[in-house]
A and B are shown apart, each in its own frame.
Chain A
């Protein structure tokens, strides 16, 4: 096969070269030379985007496994694998990003033996560590199938349900805890975002983003891997997303009301503009668009809505971690080019790894169903019968 040089490969190459150079600067000269962080602004986009958004964008893993394996929504089964892949890559890349952000990355294992259970960060570290292990086990059947390791496959299948339950619990804990991280800063985080309900907001929005990311990656996969779009499934996800967004929006505004902030969000300020950017992108626009039947049923409409929700909640996480902290820090923070370069490299690596996995592993159901049909042709009618009966 001849190597074709496409536009996206060129973009990827440029990002990688810049990222590798930035990596050299980071580790040879330290955080001061490679970031615009300071004593007034100790956390930048490596925390606000790479960690907070990275974990949020990987939330499709627990949302979809819970829906399919716990709630037993069998018809969604065909999209579970790509979401588990996204989640697994997401958490792996969050861990990688931490290696850049930690002042002493070689001590990343310290929480294993130096425990402070009063620290939210400690809890998040443990949950992320355990959940990454759970994800790799949930992901392992894909690899085991590829190499036809039947015995190991059987073991994983036997423990799948407890594994999924454990994964959902761990996700619930750390997705919400990333909000709890900010509860200790009542004097620092701007009142638009500081709320005792932060953990709840982080959790519900993670579910919304998990659904939106599933729609997003299904749409992209169908475009770039020439797969058929699972439109009926995406439509259902869109409806669930609609409900989740309503719940989130109502809670957010009720919270603002109770904290006496509803008037403030109408007074023009730097924070106010970014607050409304978040509200429009993550809440108002997707809810309005989803209420049109034509849009929520069309592939293009769903794709647009999913992208908006993802961008909207990325804005939310950046508002909590950066915008909301600028007022008390007394100054604006703009990331240095090296910070952007490393973040871009990590995101690009995520896309590339997803592409590679999709190419070489049985991620999408088409191939898998062929195999299953060839190996156990009798199984198909039985499950079909069960599925038609499950509805009564």
Chain B
């Protein structure tokens, strides 16, 4: 079964322990200066955003059918059976299509490096494979970030919304958006305030949009070849007939003379 994270913004106290745990796990620098950064970047895979007294965590959503993995020409990104969307640095040639395609703007690039790579939350795949929770979930003191089975976490989110409807906006983010994600989010304030727009995101997985076109290619190639060959045959046959007729005519003319 596929693992997932449930983030409940109403439980988040903005302590940023998840950020620190993430940095330690991924061997990234972390200090007060970085902690104050509001956005994810090539050196910060998760961030706790603050709007007045509300907090909201952003990280890779680990889509069920990720656009980034679908667009990567060399298959440097892929969704593992466990849930994490991981990145193989040695394959990447740096076309950055993943960054352009991601509906959440998650993949970041090491712009300042001469030989850069893509950076993003990879949901601690080694820990997850060993049955351990992600570093962020382990670091969270309040249970705002919880690790578990995706199906069970969705059920739990539904239960929390059902039990305390006044605490939450009536939406579970990540169940349906872009075909579902492995990070499930519930919140007390509108998701839009923190840059997520459930209304604007299609329910279909994004790779379907390109696959609809791409899947026609195997049919198109032989069909197009046959059509072009046919047109060539017709246009040149006409010419041959004309030439043959001309020759016959000249022969006849020669014979009568």
Q: How far is the CA of A111 from the CA of B41 in the complex (A)?
A: 27
Instruction: Pick the residue among B73, B100, B109, B112 that contacts A185 (CB under 8 A).
Output: B100
Chain A residues contacting B41 (CB-CB under 8 Å) are: 39
**Assuming the A-B contacts A165-B232, A389-B242, are A43 and B71 also in contact, with contact meaning beta carbons closer than 8 angstroms in the complex?**
no
Is B188 in the interface zone, CB < 8 Å from A? no
Q: Quick check: is A239 within 8 A (CB to CB) of the other chain?
A: no
Range of interface residues on chain A? 35 or more
Q: How many A-B residue pairs have CB under 8 A?
A: 181
Q: Which of the residues A30, A38, A119, A172 comes within 8 Å of B70, measured between beta carbons?
A: A119
For A38, the closest partner residue in chain B by CB is: B111
Stretch touching chain A among B24-32, B45-53, B55-63, B216-224: B216-224
Instruction: Knowing A116-B72, A165-B232, A386-B243, say if A30 contacts B114 (CB, 8 Å).
Output: yes
Are A121 and B73 in touch, CB under 8 angstroms?
Answer: yes
Contacts of B101 in A (CB 8 A): 184-185
For the complex, what is the distance from the CA of A279 to the CA of B73, rounded to whole Å? Answer: 33
1/0 contact string of A1-34 vs chain B (CB within 8 Å): 0000000000000000000000000011111110
Query: Is the beta-carbon distance between B217 and A173 smaller than 8 angstroms?
Result: yes
A29–B229 contact, CB under 8 A?
A: no
Complex interface: chain B residues within 8 A of A166 (CB): 225
Asked if A183 is an interface residue, CB under 8 A from chain B, the answer is yes
Contact among A29, A114, A386 for B75, CB-based, below 8 A: A114
Which residues between 166 and 195 of chain A lie within 8 Å of chain B, taking CB atoms? 166, 168-169, 172-173, 176-177, 180-181, 183-188
Secondary structure at the A interface, as helix, strand, loop or mixed, is helix
Distance in Å: Cβ of B44 to nearest Cβ of chain A: 11
Q: With an 8 A cutoff between CB atoms, is B160 at the interface?
A: no
Chain A residues with CB below 8 A from B235, complex form: 70-72
Are the CB atoms of B228 and A104 closer together than 8 Å? Answer: no
Q: Which of A116, A120, A169, A177 contacts B228 (CB 8 A)?
A: A169
Of the candidate stretches B124-132, B135-143, B201-209, the one touching chain A is B201-209
Judge whether A165 and B105 touch: CB under 8 Å: no
Partner of A118, one of B116, B207, B231, B245: B207
Instruction: Give complex CA distance A30, B114 in Å.
Output: 4
Tell me the A residues contacting B by CB distance below 8 Å.
27-33, 37-40, 42-43, 66, 69-72, 101-105, 107-108, 110-111, 114-123, 125, 161, 165-166, 168-169, 172-173, 176-177, 180-181, 183-188, 196, 199, 325, 385-386, 389-390, 392
7 new A-B contacts at CB < 8 Å, known A110-B74, A114-B75: A102-B93, A105-B93, A107-B74, A120-B214, A165-B225, A172-B224, A196-B209
